[in-house]
Amino acid sequence: MLEAARHPKIHIISHAEVKSASGFIGNFKIIVEKKPRYIKETGPNACTGCGACRDVCPISYPNWFNQGFSPRKAIDLAFAQAVPTIYDINIDKCIKCYNCVDACDVNSIDFSQEPEEIELDIGLIIVATGWDIYTSDQYGYGEYKNVINQLELERLLAPNGPTGSHVIRPSDNKTPRRVVMIQCVGSRDCHHNAYCSAVCCLVAMKNAKLLKAEYPDIEVAICFIDIRAAGKDYEEYYRRARESGISFIKGKVARVEEDPITKNLQCLVEDMSGNRHLVLEADLVVLSSAAVPTRGTEKVSETLKLERGSDGFFREFHARLDPISTKVPGIFIAGFAQGPKAIEFSVSQGKGAAASAIQLLKKGEYVIELIRAVVDLDRCSKCGECIAICPYNAISFNSEGNIEVSDVACRGCGACAAICRSNSITLRYYRDIQFEEYIDALLAV
């Protein structure tokens, strides 16, 4: 991120949201709303990131970056490695005591800031919106303090985390001695998310090995349906995890119950390998919850006119032959925006999206086939069914109230021609009369 921020041809607009998008490949018009930080980012009074304002702020609330395990101030950095290194004020938490104003030596705090709209002329767009973790009350999550998810465990294990990599039980801050991890929470389940999240098995193994490295005597059990460790060296990683003393139990966890006094947890497990029921006592239960589309995916989809699949992720142009492009020429997707995948596949797809964009930018032109829908306005009844069925949003009413087809957005699929009740839409080079001539010529032979 630092390298990207220092690049002369990369402009990072942080703390911002895309509000609208129009145009087409090579000529997109994007409106970005830059939200106020109430801190000056540029000029002689720009924030230096010294932290004096944070030290005097009297308001604390749970730190979202540390999954609520530590507090943060109403004026603070988003996280330690944030780029740019500029503080911002959470105006919803701020009581406007102005202690920060008095503490700032460079006078960078400005409570008069308002949202700013930035208009950008863009040639191509790459969507990389990431993912969020699935949350529900399954297995007592949100009810029992000692039931957490893998993302929360990651922060506890992190050297820059709230506890300096020392894992604790949230209920009493003690070191857990028995940990149970439950796989496929909210995924591979037709009642929640039918897909496999692709990364949960390996994340659980990694975190289990980190626990064993930090606390050699800790007992870690992973309850799974089946371990999915496809990929180079992943099966060996799974074998090493078993050899390190981590217990793998092939079985579904039916429920988790808490002892109200000790806050210990009992996991009722259906052990499929031994055809028996087990009760596992645990100090800490960790849920390997599903990866779901990030918050705001639906809004991005509406803004950029992109389709989403039944799983909620953005739909690619072709799942196997072109997983990078979308139905809108000039807009590409990468990483979890397209669907769950491991890090190396996210990197590969990101490079693929960048290469596709560079290829078009370097060429300087976009060549299309002229197999496009053509409207006979004299026959068109203006019923609008072609607009409703077009999967590429290429058909619309123009200012004169007539049906108009965008040659750039249209892909020549023919859906509009098939549904047109007045036969006013045809495909250029694929008109009925042409096929009739072909057929007559074949039958004549």
- Residue 47 token pair: 């924030």
Are the beta carbons of 201 and 212 closer than 8 angstroms?
no
- Residue 114 token pair: 């308002």
**DSSP label of 138:** G
Length of the chain: 445
Query: What is the spatial distance between Cα 195 and Cα 290, in angstroms, rounded to a whole number?
Result: 9
Domain boundaries, the chain: 36-114, 133-292, 373-444
Residue 157 DSSP SS3: helix
Query: What is the spatial distance between Cα 48 and Cα 45, in angstroms, rounded to a whole number?
Result: 9
Are the beta carbons of 80 and 93 closer than 8 angstroms?
no
Q: Which amino acid is at 232?
A: K
Domain 373-444: CATH class, spelled out: alpha beta
Are the beta carbons of 385 and 421 closer than 8 angstroms?
yes
Query: How many CB atoms sit inside 10 A of residue 131's CB?
Result: 21
Are the beta carbons of 2 and 83 closer than 8 angstroms?
yes
Question: Max alpha carbon distance in the chain (Å)?
Answer: 94
Alpha helices in 58-174 (DSSP H): 99-103, 150-157
CA terminus-to-terminus distance, the chain: 67
**Strands of 116-122's sheet, edge to edge?**
16-24, 27-34, 116-122
- Residue 356 token pair: 């596709």
Query: What is 36-114's CATH number, 1.10.10, 3.40.120, 2.40.50, 3.30.70?
Result: 3.30.70
Are β-strands 27-34 and 16-24 bridged in parallel, bridged antiparallel, or unpaired? antiparallel
Residues 134-137: contacts with CB within 8 Å, 24+ apart?
Answer: 134/185, 134/186, 134/187, 134/192, 134/193, 134/289, 134/290, 134/291, 134/292, 135/289, 136/186, 136/192
The reply to whether 133-292 shares the fold of 36-114 is no
Per residue of the chain (445 residues), give pLDDT as tens: 889 889 999 999 999 999 999 999 999 999 999 999 999 999 999 999 999 999 999 999 999 999 999 999 999 999 988 999 999 999 999 999 999 999 999 999 999 999 999 999 999 999 999 999 999 999 999 999 999 999 999 999 999 999 999 999 999 999 999 999 999 999 999 888 999 999 999 999 999 999 999 999 999 999 999 999 988 899 999 999 999 999 999 999 999 999 999 999 999 999 888 788 999 999 999 999 999 999 999 999 999 999 999 999 999 999 999 999 999 999 999 999 999 999 999 999 999 999 999 999 998 888 888 899 999 999 999 999 999 999 888 999 999 999 999 999 999 999 999 999 999 999 988 877 888 888 999 998 6
Domain 133-292: CATH class, spelled out: alpha beta
Residue 102 contacts by C-beta under 8 Å, 6 or more apart in sequence? 56
Are the beta carbons of 360 and 124 closer than 8 angstroms?
yes
